[in-house]
Amino acid sequence: MEDCRIVMKPHGFPSGRGARVGPDFSLKSQIPGLKIREFMVYVPGGSDKSAIMNKEREIRGRFAPSPTGPLHLGNAMTFLVAWLSVRSRGGRIVMRIEDIEGHGRDPAVIEGNCRDLLRLGLEWDEGYRAGGPHGPYRQSERAELYRRALDRLLEQELVYPCVCSRRDARQAGAAPHAGDCRMYDGRCRGRFADYAEAARALAGSGRLPAWRFRVPDREVVFRDRLCGGQRVNPALTYGDFPIARHPDGIGYQLAVVTDDIDMRITEVVRGGDLLECTPWQILLYRALAPEFPLPEFCHLPVVTGADGKRLAKRTGSLTLESLFERGVRPGTVLGLLAFWGGWAEFGEELTLPELLDRFDLSALRGRKPCLDGAALRLLGAE
Ligand code: GLU
């Protein structure tokens, strides 16, 4: 039998309001062997967004592309596994466009990313273009939520403005933490009365202060579906981390957690390079919505080129767009991704329903997907 977790007070309800347990609950809890993974209790008078009715928690995953360029095969692998994981559990997929950082606002790139996913058959139920109750679904249109989240952190005195550049921050730690030059020593803790004062200190530099999260000296423990148990004390591995370099808190770390809470995301599937930010994000979850059940995390092996380096948009990795333009069939691409995942022989062509039948997340564990010469030849790209 799986865990039965009961959440008595959905996020957003003032403390002390109380929760009423409905008849369904007692019924379910009396059936021996019934599998209940998560159970939210309806609190009368709550808004639709906050209260999930008296039923098992719906599985909700997300696609979260940063539209900084056309999608490559590494991106495709992430979206495929996110899709398979949600669909194999009967859940819903939300499409959220993460267009707040860098130059990710070109509508043509966003459209291109969506088109590529749809060509592979990777559709979504809610979000960008599809609509839904948790919109808008472009981060560039959600600034108000990030500001509110930042205010919650400020109320708890969990963040402070910091004028250190990324380089200063790295150097700051070099001496006291020899061997870990990424450590930040917290030198801006308590240094400025507010953001405006920090901004004045940077006047003329062309830089904006960051908001840094004051990390507690304690371990964050979580289990990743692929990478297993994780136990990290962020105070010893990095120190206070930046959540955004913007007066209103607009930045990846704060936005991703704010949105995953607001959109009721229950599972996060993404590239393994983001595993190391996860303890930070868990601290943000806990600070912003203590009652919100953490999503399940699943960090995927990173797809590399034959040189062992991660595929990246900026290095002009082979794009899905260019493959489709050259007549490569979606089934060939899916077959290669499935081979990387351990669900197909090399060179097989597969449809998504076939792949869904074979999907087994654990087969991915320890694999090293590589766009090597053989893969390039398969795609007619060598
Ligand atoms: N937008 C990020 C990316 O495209 C993904 C962020 C996440 O999944 O948390 O790499």
Residue-level pLDDT, tens digit, the chain, 382 residues? 333 334 333 333 333 333 333 333 333 344 444 444 334 433 333 333 333 443 468 999 999 999 999 999 999 999 999 999 999 999 999 999 999 987 667 899 999 999 999 999 999 999 999 999 999 999 999 999 999 999 999 999 999 999 998 777 666 544 444 444 568 999 999 999 999 999 999 999 999 999 999 999 999 999 999 999 999 999 999 999 999 999 999 999 999 999 999 999 999 999 999 999 999 999 999 999 999 999 999 999 999 999 999 998 766 679 999 999 999 999 999 999 999 999 999 999 999 999 999 999 999 999 999 999 999 999 998 7
Decide whether any atom of ligand 1 lies within 6 Å of the 239 Cβ: no
270 lines ligand 1 (CB under 6 A): yes
pLDDT at site 168 = 75
Phi, then psi, of 64 in degrees rounded to 5: -130, 65
* pTM summary value: 0.84
Give the model's pLDDT for residue 111: 97
pLDDT reported for residue 304:
96
User: Is 352 touching ligand 1 by the criterion CB < 6 Å?
Assistant: no
Partnered with residue 232 across adjacent β-strands are: 220
Strands 296-300 vs 38-40: parallel, antiparallel or unpaired = unpaired
Specify the amino acid at residue 58: E
Cα 64 to ligand 1 centroid, rounded to whole Å: 5
Tell me which residue has its CA closest to atom 6 in ligand 1. 64
Q: Which residues pair with 300 in a beta bridge?
A: 271
Instruction: Work out whether strand 228-232 and strand 220-224 pair parallel, antiparallel, or are unpaired.
Output: antiparallel
Whether the Cβ atoms of residue 41 and residue 6 lie closer than 8 Å to each other: yes
Mutate to test the pocket of ligand 1, among 79, 268, 270 (most ligand atoms within 8 A of CB): 270
CB 209 within 8 A of CB 162: yes
Beta bridge partners of 319: 72
Of 324, 339, 327, the closest CA to residue 371 belongs to 339
Show Cβ contacts of residue 180 under 8 Å, excluding neighbours closer than 6 positions.
173, 237
CA-closest residue to ligand 1 atom 8: 270
The single-letter code of the amino acid at 30 is: Q
| Any atom of ligand 1 within 6 Å of the Cβ of 96 | no
